[in-house]
A and B are shown apart, each in its own frame.
Chain A
Amino acid sequence: MTAIENSTAPLPPMEKDAAIRKPPIRLLLLPAGTLIGLLLICALVVLRMSLGERNAEWTGWSLRAYTQLASSRNIGIIVDTIWMALLSALITTLVAFPIALFLTRTTSAFARRLVLIAILLPMIISLLVQSFGWMAILGPNGLLDQAISAATGIERPFSLLFNRTGVMLGLVQTSIPLAVLPTAAALRSIPLSLEEAANVLGANRLRTYRHILLPLAWPGMAAGAILVFGVNTGAFVVPLLLGGLKVMTIAVVIRDQMGTFSNWPLGAALSVLLILLALAVQSLNRLIVRTNVEIKR
């Protein structure tokens, strides 16, 4: 999203027009504004609950939830979650680059449309369905198992379900569009003539990537990576289904605490942590966007 904003950054000023259009635009912002306001209230409610007592979330005041949050088990899960989000952001960004490059460079409109649809599918299909799809492939007696045992004769040589590898696969696959779209937007804004100029100046394909494409696409790639990281720190469905409670993430713990254990303050405290993480990530994004605008100006 951010990369798309960047590519259209130098819009001509339209002061007169803006003056005429101002009131209706403000009105149009109302529905979204209301929703965002509600979200803000929710966040405040969560904050309040995190500071409450168990079974007295609205009346009591306590920091116990935060001391519980700092227990070694929970810290482990938090670190784990952040680590998996980081790794998935890295892998997804790397996987997304060639796809985005193909999308922007192919001359066949048909191929582009096909790839674009394939890329966008994860955004359209429910995470639940995608995760069940992975289970059907990776699970005991799943497609992968059958294929491997048919090929090697070994029964279940390894398992990819209910462990980190399976979760990582799911996280990467479901977030590919988040990385591809901003990367493609960044690549699209690089004129082909820059690559050709580098080429004529003596750079082969690889060096053109290294010195021209990568540095110029970097802000888009970073925006994508940050988006993936942000979304995956809150990952719930994928780790729940593909991790089978063996791989815990913050979101899964939140559901356990608020649901199974009725420990609303701890759940709320973990939620506050997620919100803070999201805000931190967002400010990182800002930083990168700023440098990007500087480059493009």
Chain B
Amino acid sequence: MKQNPVLEVRNLSRTFAQGAVRAVDHIDLDVQPGEIISILGPSGCGKTTTMRIIAGLESPTSGEVRILGKDVAGKPPHKRNVGLVFQSLAIFPHMSVKQNVAFGLRMQGLDSKLIETKVAKALELVQLSPEKFAERRPSELSGGQLQRVALARTLVTEPALVLFDEPMAALDRRLRDYMAVELRAIQKQLGIAAVYVTHDQETASMMSDRVIIMSAGKILQAGTPEEIYEAPNSRFVSDFLGDTNTLRIARVLDQEDGTSLVQTDAGLAIRVANCSAIAEGAFVIFRPEQTVVHSADPGGAFEGKVVSSQFRSGLYRWQIVLPGGNTLIAQSTENRLASSAGDTAWVTIDSGKARIVSQ
């Protein structure tokens, strides 16, 4: 039997400044029980606003939010059974770690014995030993530890849905990755439904079952991290998820059996598999790792000049200018070119992976 979604957002909009700013623009999303989804988008695309509306801190201009099947319009935050971990963490500075974590339970009116055990359990869950940290003041904690307190404080109240608004933005990359993996494990362990907001695609891919890409208040694409990475539906989404080679299509040279031969406006002929109709002004996009560079002409490759090359975390990268003026980014795990800037290189594109998008 299929359970009801924990969260249903329908046609939700929110405008500011008398409609001049469309912070959230007709979005729909669902979160199933036990599922964690990420909302991914650039700064100012409406992620925080969406979270705040779901939590009840902001009211929508139009649209509907349902939690566990019930419309929550007009319900104040403290009656929504939703947890929110803030972008700023919002740890209460005048309370100890224990008091911070106990706050929600105290508001629920639980007796102090029960609160005590629940707080200790929650602190252990986020790997802060209660003996060591319970009595500490927030000012005596590191960024990562504060982050854990914020997490424990929200999880301990066992909300139906937990919203994370970039709580790890302030942490450095390593710690963020570590926390993301850990948060994911905790979320699966507790089986809670969660929405994770971030503008960092790696964090999003690492920890979510599904990713939603937002831009300027709208949802551009939704799907599993793999789906979206492999099959972005626009240049924006592709770019947002990683470096992308984008070439404008000037005309379609040949088309048969779902494979097209297109010519870019710089005059390159590229074969693209799995595409049907190609609209006017479409683009062909492919990722750096979907190209192969060669130091000698393998036949049917584009010849170009290496502009620069880099080595970064086990990957080699080259910027190659083609005769028509297009610059391609190529990437490989092997150092396939013993060349430096100014040398000639040949590039082939994996036609099975290249995609055509209309915008």
Chain A contact residues, CB within 8 Å of chain B: 191, 193-194, 196-204, 207, 211-212, 215-216, 295-297
B78/A200 in contact, CB under 8 A: yes
A193/B108 in contact, CB under 8 A: no
- Give chain B interface residues in 68-116, CB to chain A under 8 Å: 76-78, 80, 82-84, 86, 88, 90, 92-94, 103-104, 107-108
In the A-B complex, the 3 residue pairs with the closest CB atoms:
A202-B107, A197-B90, A201-B104
B57 within 8 A of A: yes
Q: List 18 A-B contacts (CB under 8 A).
A: A193-B88, A193-B90, A194-B90, A194-B92, A196-B90, A197-B86, A198-B92, A199-B76, A200-B55, A200-B77, A200-B78, A200-B84, A201-B78, A201-B154, A202-B107, A207-B107, A211-B103, A216-B94
Q: In the complex, what distance in Å separates the CA atom of A297 from the CA atom of B139?
A: 6
A200/B57 in contact, CB under 8 A: yes
B103/A201 in contact, CB under 8 A: yes
Please give the distance in Å from B82's CB to the nearest CB on chain A. Answer: 7
In the complex formed, the residue of A with least CB distance to B86 is A193
Q: In the complex, what distance in Å separates the CA atom of A119 from the CA atom of B74?
A: 35
B86: which A residues are within 8 A, CB to CB?
A: 193, 196-197
A215: which B residues are within 8 A, CB to CB?
A: 94
- Give chain B interface residues in 285-322, CB to chain A under 8 Å: none
A204/B76 in contact, CB under 8 A: yes
B153 within 8 A of A: yes
B84/A197 in contact, CB under 8 A: yes
B157 within 8 A of A: yes
Chain B contact residues, CB within 8 Å of chain A: 55-57, 76-78, 80, 82-84, 86, 88, 90, 92-94, 103-104, 107-108, 139, 153-154, 157
In the complex formed, the residue of B with least CB distance to A295 is B94
A191: which B residues are within 8 A, CB to CB?
A: 88, 90
Q: In the complex, what distance in Å separates the CA atom of A194 from the CA atom of B89?
A: 9
A297: which B residues are within 8 A, CB to CB?
A: 139
Please give the distance in Å from B174's CB to the nearest CB on chain A. Answer: 26
Please give the distance in Å from B59's CB to the nearest CB on chain A. Answer: 14
A199/B78 in contact, CB under 8 A: yes
Please give the distance in Å from B72's CB to the nearest CB on chain A. Answer: 13
Interface of chain A, main secondary structure: helix
Beyond A199-B78, A215-B94, 11 additional contacts (C-beta under 8 Å) are A194-B92, A194-B93, A196-B77, A197-B84, A197-B92, A200-B84, A202-B78, A202-B104, A204-B78, A295-B93, A295-B94
Q: In the complex, what distance in Å separates the CA atom of A194 from the CA atom of B103?
A: 12
B104: which A residues are within 8 A, CB to CB?
A: 201-202
A296: which B residues are within 8 A, CB to CB?
A: 93
B83/A200 in contact, CB under 8 A: yes
B80: which A residues are within 8 A, CB to CB?
A: 200
Please give the distance in Å from B3's CB to the nearest CB on chain A. Answer: 24
Please give the distance in Å from A294's CB to the nearest CB on chain B. Answer: 8
B107/A201 in contact, CB under 8 A: yes
A216/B76 in contact, CB under 8 A: no
B78: which A residues are within 8 A, CB to CB?
A: 199-204
In the complex formed, the residue of B with least CB distance to A292 is B94
Q: In the complex, what distance in Å separates the CA atom of A296 from the CA atom of B92?
A: 10
A211: which B residues are within 8 A, CB to CB?
A: 103
In the complex formed, the residue of A with least CB distance to B108 is A202
Q: In the complex, what distance in Å separates the CA atom of A215 from the CA atom of B107?
A: 17
B88: which A residues are within 8 A, CB to CB?
A: 191, 193
Please give the distance in Å from B23's CB to the nearest CB on chain A. Answer: 17
Please give the distance in Å from B170's CB to the nearest CB on chain A. Answer: 14
A216: which B residues are within 8 A, CB to CB?
A: 93-94
A207: which B residues are within 8 A, CB to CB?
A: 107
In the complex formed, the residue of A with least CB distance to B52 is A196
A295: which B residues are within 8 A, CB to CB?
A: 93-94
